[in-house]
Structure 1
């Protein structure tokens, strides 16, 4: 039988633990459970807002995706293990949590739980965290450039591995008279409140950006697919180091078949920079960049069956059993079973969407935008 003193000891158990141990325990909880802990008591409410907890939670990310299911409404699906998604009885992915945003702006990308949104006309550039429910609107980067002067404009968002500085990168080309545009660059350091020009003179003037492509973040570097006007038979990859803010260029894998100008897109896949491709028999191929060799290793090409319902695919995640989760150009989320060699098209229900919004890789965090100085932070 428990005595009154023992009962009180059970109730006050966490009071006798050092705060670093409590942080270690709570940071291992699923996002929804950790968020509920804020309501337990004031000490925990304060504890979950400390840099110690935020950084500890970020160091143990649960990878997943955020999918727009209806206008302004999003589902977060987490990958529960290395054997595939967690399905219900109807073979649909189980939603970890969902949220709604007060603005109708397409998601672009995310890093450490912060989501970057970019409007169709690039008028609205927003950063938000659906867990802490705060957001900021970035100032317009076009202080000296009008819309009609722009030939192309792309964005990327990421965080430096060395300094932890979050940055939005804008690549753009203006329309000069009687000549081709050159790629230029602006960077917005979150917390500074302003854009700044970054030298891009090292970029070959023959390189051209694609419209409406997103910078792919990997190991503190952003990557874009680009073309060379002097050689359209092979696309190239433009890399921007978020720490040094220097550019470099390397070639994409050699084209396979006659479809080399279509369907090629960069992605983050199996912890590598990946590229989806099609062969002449309309099979889906995935290339992996071997960083230490600086080459695209053909040993890592995987074939995922014939494509017959889509024109483009973007692989999202591969699992140890050979299954692959991917997205098509129509916004369908596909799950390929390596065992049955078939696709499941009923993974996530996306309805009432006026336009296709790409799926965004996402891992939640409790990093509040209020921790960044010089930013006008709002709540929703």
Structure 2
């Protein structure tokens, strides 16, 4: 009777039920019957499931090219994380960033640019952007990846300097096969090796303006829909002035700035109203000295828990801050080796298929 009940349910109800399943369970449903296999490939299912997916973190493991996906966290040090599932990638390039379950990979030596979905197990090798810079300047190129808010187009972005002039920008819309040059904010230069941060359909990167009084920091924002740059001012009540180590990130769904003071204290600022330069608020201030950290280190928050504890990363090393004890724990956060670099990327699993992009050469793994 149970089989007949599901068989005659309207497809929209079946779709609503299946889209609420965790990713691994939804994947298993593809093997139940052909109608479900077809249903789980429809845009309706893909969009419903993505809207209900829980944002987590993808973390590299000790195994080569192997990654754990963690969607559930708690503040119990004995059971800090629960691995939702694990996947392996057949690429040497490390994970750079992710959007809508699509993972963008790029190495620091200007190797292949790869876009893949570990759930659907398909990938694209993006064409390399036209090289207009010298070999020395190639190392300072910055890449980003994201999705526009209105059209839902996926775009890779390259920001680079040419002949030591202020930065230029190229954009690749997935499915077109072409890189295009777009106007940049030519009055600014940028921080190379800082990753672009995706929020509200915009990519953000730290930038510099040369003024009469010296270098002034800003956040440069590229709207992926209009491909127009704008600039946000940043707070500087500590009087840091120019600081290479001030990092932009996303925290509590807000644009965030973080840095370590000369005393080893970690300061986190949030833009409470996106785009409003006057809405910066010091949301978290860690008032104990961050042992082993230095003010030239890069630090950014990853997740805050209900009890106020925070998962952070400093120069590629994860650590856990306890609000109750005001201490930093390295053993709890993924690995016991505080000196080992590991890759951590915000990730939301999805069934978005790269095979929908007709102009791309899609392969499977």
Q: Does TM, normalized by the shorter one, top 0.5?
A: yes
Give deviations 1:151-192, integer Å, cap 9, x for gaps: 7311111101111000001111112xxxx4121111100111
Q: What is the 5 A alignment of 1:144-163?
A: 144-145=132-133, 147-148=135-136, 150=138, 152-163=140-151
Shift of residue 150, structure 1, vs aligned partner: 4.2
Q: Greater CA radius of gyration, 1 or 2?
A: 1
Q: How many pairs does the alignment contain?
A: 359
Change (3 A) 1:139 1:298: closer
Shift of residue 299, structure 1, vs aligned partner: 4.2
Aligned residue in 2 for 1:189: 173
Match of 2:190 among 209, 223, 238: 209
Q: How far, CA to CA, are the matches of 2:242 and 2:167 in structure 1?
A: 24
Shift of residue 54, structure 1, vs aligned partner: 0.2
Shift of residue 75, structure 1, vs aligned partner: 0.9
Q: Is the 8 A contact 2:317 2:341 kept in 1?
A: no
Q: How far, CA to CA, are the matches of 2:258 and 2:274 in structure 1?
A: 21
Q: How far, CA to CA, are the matches of 1:239 and 1:334 in structure 2?
A: 29
| Structure 1 residues without counterparts, runs of 5 or longer | 1-8
Shift of residue 312, structure 1, vs aligned partner: 2.9
Deviates more, 1:233-242 or 1:258-267: 258-267
Q: How far, CA to CA, are the matches of 1:48 and 1:63 in structure 2?
A: 20
Q: Is the 8 A contact 1:151 1:172 kept in 2?
A: no
Change (3 A) 1:378 1:106: same
Q: Is the 8 A contact 2:268 2:283 kept in 1?
A: yes
Q: How far, CA to CA, are the matches of 1:237 and 1:128 in structure 2?
A: 29
Q: Is the 8 A contact 1:87 1:94 kept in 2?
A: no
Aligned residue in 2 for 1:317: 303
Q: What is the 5 A alignment of 1:57-136?
A: 57-70=49-62, 71-78=64-71, 80=72, 85-86=73-74, 90-136=78-124
Q: How far, CA to CA, are the matches of 2:336 and 2:45 in structure 1?
A: 37
Secondary structure of residue in 1 paired with 2:52: coil
Q: How far, CA to CA, are the matches of 1:296 and 1:126 in structure 2?
A: 38
Aligned residue in 1 for 2:226: 244
Aligned residue in 2 for 1:253: 235
Give deviations 1:77-104, integer Å, cap 9, x for gaps: 11x3xxxx14777344111111111011
Q: How far, CA to CA, are the matches of 2:99 and 2:26 in structure 1?
A: 19
Q: Is the 8 A contact 2:319 2:330 kept in 1?
A: yes
Secondary structure of residue in 2 paired with 1:288: strand
Aligned residue in 1 for 2:359: 374
Match of 1:218 among 196, 199, 211: 199
When the two chains are superposed, the root-mean-square deviation of aligned CA atoms in Å is 2.5
1:287 aligns with 2:273: no
Secondary structure of residue in 2 paired with 1:95: strand
Q: Is the 8 A contact 2:301 2:312 kept in 1?
A: yes
Q: How far, CA to CA, are the matches of 2:203 and 2:61 in structure 1?
A: 27
Change (3 A) 1:341 1:88: closer
Q: Is the 8 A contact 1:156 1:169 kept in 2?
A: yes
Q: Is the 8 A contact 1:106 1:357 kept in 2?
A: no
Shift of residue 61, structure 1, vs aligned partner: 2.5
Provide the TM-score with structure 2 as the length reference. Answer: 0.91
